[in-house]
Amino acid sequence: MHKSSEQTLIFEISKPGRVAYALPLATVEEAAIEDMLPSSFIRTEDVALPEVSELDLVRHYTALSNRNHGVDSGFYPLGSCTMKYNPKINEDMARLPGFAHIHPLQPVESIQGALGLMYDLQEKLAVITGMDEVTLQPAAGAHGEWTGLMLIKAYHQARGDFKRTKVLVPDSAHGTNPASASVAGFDTVTVLSDERGLVDLEDLKSKVGDDTAALMLTNPNTLGLFESDIVEIAKAVHEAGGKLYYDGANSNAIMGIARPGDMGFDVVHLNLHKTFTGPHGGGGPGSGPVGVKQDLIPYLPKPIVAKTEEGFILDYDRKDSIGRVKPFYGNFGINVRAYSYIRTMGGEGLARVSKEAVLNANYMLARLKGAYDAPYDVYCKHEFVLSGRRQKALGVRTLDIAKRLLDFGYHPPTIYFPLNVEECIMIEPTETESKETLDAFCDAMLQIAREVEETPDVVLNAPHTTVVKRMDETLAARKPVLRYQPKQEVHA
Amino acid sequence: MDFRYLPMTQEDEKEMLQTIGANSIEDLLADIPASVRDKGTLKEVGIPLPETDLIRTLSKLADQNMNTKQYPSFLGAGIYDHYAPAVVNHMLLRSEFYTAYTPYQPEISQGELQAIFEFQTMICELTGMDVANSSMYDGITALAEAAMLACAHKKKKTIVLSDGVHPESHDVVRTYAKGPGLNVETLALRDGETAIEQLDAIDDVACVIVQYPNFYGRVEDLQALADATHAKGGLFIVSANPLALGLLEAPGKLGADITIGDCQPFGIPQSFGGPTCGYFTTTKALMRKIPGRLVGQTVDEDGKRGFVLTLQAREQHIRRDKATSNICSNQALNALAASIAMSAFGKQGIRDLAVRNLQTAHALKKSLKAAGFRIVDDGPSFNEFVVELPIDAEEASRQLLKAGIIGGLPLGTYDANRNREMLVCATELRTKEELDQFVSALGGLTHA
């Protein structure tokens, strides 16, 4: 059994006979099960779902929500995740019955509004990224990466070029990049960063060749630095016959400033749940549209929404398409939210978003770089990295600093990523946070830096105020308990 | 123009630039080559809309769609018109859930972590499997990931799909298979069921994938299919409608090595086909091969029970190109919706709901037969089955729309040889009156 100070599981408050649901009134004949299905098909054991009243249910999930930190709870500067405010109106728009309660296989004449929205979103995302055509089908960023790489594979193969088996990925890239390359059947070659934190051009040139399918690049990169050699990088990859892939995880830095299409990228994915405010949902759902330049359009997943004189259609007549990457047409509900956001901000608003995100990040960097090491002390874009190596020398690790931030009511930054920075702390404030919030967070970081020197135990033993203390992750991995078992006795 | 999501004032901007030691925001962008700087293209995105005008614009688009709250729908085929209890949406709107991300910091994410742990438990209960992950994008990409897992685990290159599996699953698996260069073979149906003896002629079988109930509504004998698959040395993968499992025997008891599916029937709106929520389950033996996030129980420094993301050595952020999958974001919020719905139904409710679906579809089948329609490959089914129409089913679907009915799926959509067949679905939401209206409208077609 659980201890009294522990949060109960919903299974532990279950009591036979309680329900939180009522079936609709019966209007059809209530035929006996055995008259409809052979008895051998029927379950032998009931599904042991919890039995609770509606109030039990509401209290349980309210209690769980109170044990969770979201953007609405407080500052959430999780680098590369773009934890900006999620506008309430977007939630309302996605719940309009004409969007929430339509079936993907309805006749097209009964879904013209949905197709019209998708078409306009495709067009607007093409403008924002500088690409020629967009598919909304991929479900998330990683899914978009894999889709983009499959497009590139199809492009090369259509030209009879089967020797391009390698995808180049910088050492600072998100983990999904090499993983997506692998799922798409490519070998990954790591490109080193130079002392500036940027792609090492010489290293790139030594690795790019006639076996290169693509280079995947995040720009600004995960250090928050703009790859200022982008024109040379694009030239090197293109001259070798490769394609340039843009990981849009960091696109919050570049709207109205520099478009991937103009930088020379051939394929782009966007994370609509990041830059375009579809909420992160505790891990998802996201949406990962992919945009391409002209020569890759034939390979896009089908269907694509197209406009004809008779109205919008789902165009399946695409013989070179890589096929489907997802059932139906992508995460429409998230796309509605992103569309709602784009229409709210307009072009002018989106351009301000990126500029203010960049200013916020640079302001925090300026305030924090005295107390923490800034391995790249140049202007950053929408995010920046610090190193906790000075604190580590005093016996306090970045993990401890992150845990101490919890006591101040903050979600910590991304830590230990990117991998090429020792004791990395990666901070992305976003544009929706006020100067007061940034100042309060910086004050907390500065206080923690002082604590590391004066009272390190306060940091080492943090957090002090959360509902649980640091968790035993080794135990979790060594003796995995991945589901509730009635009458189990797992802990002491 | 002021933007309600942008708090920065001119004074803030000035102070911040001063602290930075820059003259303007442009200074911060000076490292970007002039040749790639944007020249004002965002103007094409249009002007900003105040909330009132936004609502007007989007409502107009929404109103151009016929929605299933207004019109009775007989469409299923992977996305279903079920009732989501009101508590589901109310709890989902707790923003501590929906404005959070992946629970990387367990001390302030116990709510989400515990909710996922409970989700994993409920899915294990339903499927009779040992281990469930925290969710996948949808049932169909979960199926593709299961096929990839099977090929990697068995070190074999052939994925075998029953034709009883959703045609879009076939499509998605074929796309995934092109990455590592895997083969996809199919098993045709005979009298509505997978003709498993065709497996004899296929070599290098990593897995056999079937759907339960199958795409055309039939409930197949899983144990026999599992035995044949195992005899061939492959993993047996079942794509199961989780609501049907409220009544049907669990795949875990019928030889499944992996059971996947889509939780959309549990509190998740149809939303034009997405986002839904895939689930992924397997046996203890394959636990360390599972894609995506897993939540495990552990204790904190004081010995207090708590939950963490675990077995992360499988995942892309640790293993990079050696990861079991590239999945990062999942469908956590919809997994939460499904958990809340499953908790609302409870042990008895899930069975009652499944039975009501069966009864409603059964009643429709009976009336159609009485009206002289032929049920194609009639046999044990759940809430879907195929009816043969006197005319092209797409044309029928158009005529039904005019009568204010969203008809079933014209099978010609996926198979030109079946253009006079319609896959119909009747959930607990269809009333006798609506069934009668539907049958009578279909009757009207015969004389058209």
Is residue A104 scored above 80 in pLDDT? yes
What would the pLDDT profile of B343-383 be if each residue is shown by its tens digit?
999 999 999 999 999 999 999 999 999 999 999 999 999 99
Q: Which residues contact A455 (CB under 8 A, 6 or more apart)?
A: none
What is the distance in angstroms between the Cα of A240 and the nearest Cα belonging to chain B? 21
**Poorest-pLDDT segment among A172-181, B135-144, B270-279:** A172-181
Please report which confidence band the pLDDT of residue A492 belongs to, taking 50, 70 and 90 as the band edges: very low
Q: Is A203 exposed, middle or buried (0-12, 13-18, 19+ CB in 10 A)?
A: middle
Alpha helices in A300-434 (DSSP H): 332-368, 389-393, 398-406
Candidates B18, B23, B58: best to mutate against A (most CBs of A within 10 A) is B58
The total of other beta-carbon atoms located within 10 Å of residue A157's CB is 14
* Segment B42-94, tens digit of pLDDT: 999 999 999 999 999 999 999 999 999 999 999 999 999 999 999 999 999 99
Give the model's confidence band at A4: pLDDT under 50 very low, under 70 low, under 90 confident, else very high. Answer: low
Q: Which of residues A174 and B387 earns the better pLDDT score? A: B387
Q: Average of pLDDT values for B198-218?
A: 98
Residue A412 DSSP code: P
Per-residue b or e along A391-428, where b marks 16 or more CB atoms closer than 10 Å to that residue's CB: bbeeebbbbbbbbbbbbbebbbbbbbbbebbebbbbbb
Tell me the CB-side half-sphere exposure of residue A332, using CA atoms within 13 A: 30
Does the structural domain A89-344 have CATH classification 3.30.750.24?
no
Give the nearest partner residue to B8 out of A3, A344, A356, using CB atoms: A356
Q: Which of A46, A61, A162, A353 to mutate to test the interface with B (most CBs of B within 10 A)?
A: A61
Cα–Cα distance list, B299 to A5, A406, B120, B308 (Å)? 13, 19, 18, 9
Instruction: Compute the distance between CA of residue B329 and CA of residue B185 in angstroms, rounded to an integer.
Output: 30
Residues in B closer than 8 angstroms to A263, CB to CB, are 36
Cβ atoms of residues A290 and A267 within 8 Å = yes
Task: Select from B49, B122, B301 the Cβ nearest to the Cβ of A344.
Answer: B49
Residues 6+ apart with CB under 8 A from A68: A282, B96, B97, B100, B103, B108, B109, B110, B111, B112
What's the pLDDT at B446?
A: 63
**What rounded mean pLDDT belongs to chain B?**
96
Residues of A in contact with B349 (CB under 8 A): 19-21, 23, 49
Work out the minimum CA distance from A36 to partner chain B, whole angstroms: 7
Q: How many CB atoms lie within 10 A of CB B185?
A: 16
8 A C-beta contact, residue B324 and residue B289: yes
Q: For chain B, how far is it from start to end, CA to CA, in angstroms?
A: 59
Least Cα separation, residue B130 to chain A (angstroms): 9
**A1: confidence class by pLDDT, cuts 50, 70, 90:** very low
- For residue A39, give Cα distances in angstroms to A34, A238, B162, B249: 6, 64, 24, 10
- Look at residue B322 in the predicted model and tell me its pLDDT: 82
Is A282 in Cβ contact with B318 (below 8 Å)? Answer: no
Between CA A179 and CA A175 the distance in angstroms is 6
CATH superfamily of the A353-474 domain: Aspartate Aminotransferase, domain 1 (3.90.1150.10)
Distance CA A380, CA B44 (A): 28
DSSP category for residue A111:
B
Average pLDDT for chain A: 96
Minimal Cβ distance to B77: which of A10, A26, A105 = A105
Place A2 in a pLDDT band, splitting at 50, 70 and 90.
low
What pLDDT score was predicted for residue A80?
Answer: 94
Strand partners, A313: A306
**Which tens digit of pLDDT belongs to each residue from B320-354?**
888 888 888 889 999 999 999 999 999 999 999 99
pLDDT tens for A139-165 read: 999 999 999 999 999 999 999 999 999
Shortest Cα distance from A409 to chain B (angstroms)? 9
Cα–Cα nearest to A267, from A101, A413, A393, A135:
A135
Contact A54 B344 (CB under 8 A): yes
pLDDT score of B448: 52
CA distance to partner chain A, nearest, from residue B203 (Å): 22
Which residues does chain A have within 8 Å of residue B182's beta carbon, measured at their own beta carbons?
Answer: none
A·B CB contacts under 8 A:
723
Distance CA A211, CA A192 (A): 18
pLDDT at position B416: 92
CB contact (8 A) between residue B272 and residue A359: no
CB contact under 8 A, B363 and A29: yes
Query: Which pLDDT does position B315 carry in this prediction?
Result: 82
Residues of A in contact with B245 (CB under 8 A): 43, 47
Of the residues B2, B4, B5, the best mutation for testing chain A's interface (the one with the most A CB atoms within 10 Å of its CB) is B5
Best of B321, B433, B435 to disrupt the A interface (most A CBs within 10 Å) is B321
Residue A163 CB neighbour total at 10 angstroms: 12
List pLDDT tens digits, range B101-117: 999 999 999 999 999 99
Q: Which residue of A has its CA nearest to B129?
A: A483
CA A248 – CA A263 distance, rounded (Å): 13
Asked if A283 and B140 come within 8 Å (Cβ–Cβ), the reply is no
Q: How far is CA B120 from CA A316, B205, B240, B282, B342, in A?
A: 37, 29, 16, 11, 12
Note the ipTM here. 0.97
CA–CA distance, B361 with B408 (Å, rounded to integer) = 12
Q: Do A89-344 and A353-474 fold alike per CATH?
A: no
A284–B331 CB contact, under 8 Å: yes
CA distance to partner chain A, nearest, from residue B317 (Å):
4
B112: left (phi over 0), alpha (psi -120 to 50) or beta: alpha
| Cβ within 8 Å of residue B14, ≥6 positions away | none
Q: Which domains does chain B have, with CATH numbers?
A: 87-340 (3.40.640.10), 347-446 (3.90.1150.10)
Contacts of B346 (CB under 8 A, 6+ apart): A14, A18, A19, A20, A21, A49, A50, A51, A52
Residue A441, CA atoms < 13 Å, CB-side half-sphere:
27
Structure tokens that stand for B424 in this block: 């119909």
| Domain residue ranges in chain A | 10-65, 89-344, 353-474
pLDDT in the model for residue A314:
97
